[in-house]
Amino acid sequence: AQTVTQSQPEMSVQEAETVTLSCTYDTSESDYYLFWYKQPPSRQMILVIRQEAYKQQNATENRFSVNFQKAAKSFSLKISDSQLGDAAMYFCAYPRYNNDMRFGAGTRLTVKP
């Protein structure tokens, strides 16, 4: 089975602080991609960051970075210097071989001013 698990339904962070969202996944494949998507309230889902499994280096996009632990099948998202605009639902996603993007249940992030 290829599943994605996000164990934190809700998270909260103070503005300018750092927060980490957790994701674990299950796969028998050795070469794959992983994604984090952001869905702000009433706005469209956008890609935050992408990780290729064969790359050992963790992906980074400005204030967003991942901690990819392939052996542990863990893919967490770290948001540094949190901003009010970071408030959203965050989905971890695994694209299967047959075009089926498997999403986790999502983590709702609240940013407190």
Binding site for another protein (CB under 8 A): 32-33, 35, 37, 43-47, 50, 89, 91, 95-101, 103-106, 108
**Pick 17 or 52: Cβ nearer another protein:** 52
**Pick 15 or 26: Cβ nearer another protein:** 26
**Pick 8 or 16: Cβ nearer another protein:** 8
Q: Smallest distance from the beta carbon of 9 to another protein, in angstroms?
A: 9
- Token pair 């750092």 is found at 18
Q: Smallest distance from the beta carbon of 69 to another protein, in angstroms?
A: 20
Q: Smallest distance from the beta carbon of 34 to another protein, in angstroms?
A: 10
Q: CA 65, 97, 55: angle at the middle one, nearest 5?
A: 35
**Tokens at residue 113, please?**
């001013």
